[in-house]
A and B are shown apart, each in its own frame.
Chain A
């Protein structure tokens, strides 16, 4: 089955700096890669996703890149703010209506 690895497990950046979180996946059939943000005690929130026919996608301060050959994808957050502090999860799935396999999460701390 699919295996998703995520690094780093914790990340501390100063406000205004950029943050990068990286994930690798094992199943070459995976073609959908969402990112979720989870604040303490809250639900995972879908913040951005990318499909395998696209190499990069941007939404304001958030961008995701995908390298299908190397089977890795990354989340980039620019101009970080304290409210970006949360746990971020990457995930992969092999197609429509299929289960998500999650990475182990990255705890991002944005300090003033």
Chain B
């Protein structure tokens, strides 16, 4: 039973480039959450999506960040024109419609902006 998958695991981008982070939820899960973790800090909520819908994006920066969860394929977190402050670990979590409370995390994507 595959868990939450994320790729790439490590991503290096120069300032001004775009970063695309992908997340495939656990089998049978249709709810995806993205969190950001800065070094030595806790996790901060960014966005919650269901298939083809953004449910809660209250934690997303207003500019440069976007997220989608298409009908087919993984959820994607996109960061345009990256800056050094975007360097962090980005985790996605998923939950099932049958047990919405429990969120299971993927291994994360560690983004480094040089």
The chain A residues found within 8 Å of chain B, CB to CB, are 1, 32, 34, 36, 42-46, 49, 51, 89, 93, 96-105
B105 touches A102 (CB 8 A): no
- Given contacts A89-B43, A103-B42, is CB(A98)–CB(B56) below 8 Å? yes
A89 neighbours in B (Cβ, 8 Å): 42-43
For residue A69, give the distance in angstroms from its CB to the closest CB of chain B. 22
* Bound CA span A104–B40, Å: 9
In whole angstroms, what is the CA distance A45 to B95 when docked?
14
- Check B42 against A99 for contact (C-beta < 8 Å): no
On whether the beta carbons of B102 and A97 are closer than 8 Å, the reply is no
Could you say which of A96, A97, A98, A102 contacts B42, with CB atoms under 8 Å apart?
A102
State whether A97 touches B44 (Cβ < 8 A).
no
B101 adjacent to A93 (CB under 8 Å): yes
Contact B43–A97 (Cβ < 8 Å): no
CB within 8 Å of A: which of B17-52? 31, 33, 35, 41-45, 48
Asked if B69 CB lies within 8 Å of chain A CBs, one says no
Chain A residues with CB under 8 Å of B58's CB are 1, 99
20 of the cross-chain contacts (CB-CB < 8 Å) are: A34-B102, A34-B103, A36-B105, A43-B105, A44-B43, A45-B105, A46-B103, A89-B42, A96-B100, A97-B95, A97-B100, A99-B48, A99-B56, A100-B33, A100-B93, A100-B103, A102-B44, A104-B41, A104-B42, A105-B42
**Interface 1/0 per residue, B91-114 and A, CB below 8 Å:** 101010000111111111000000
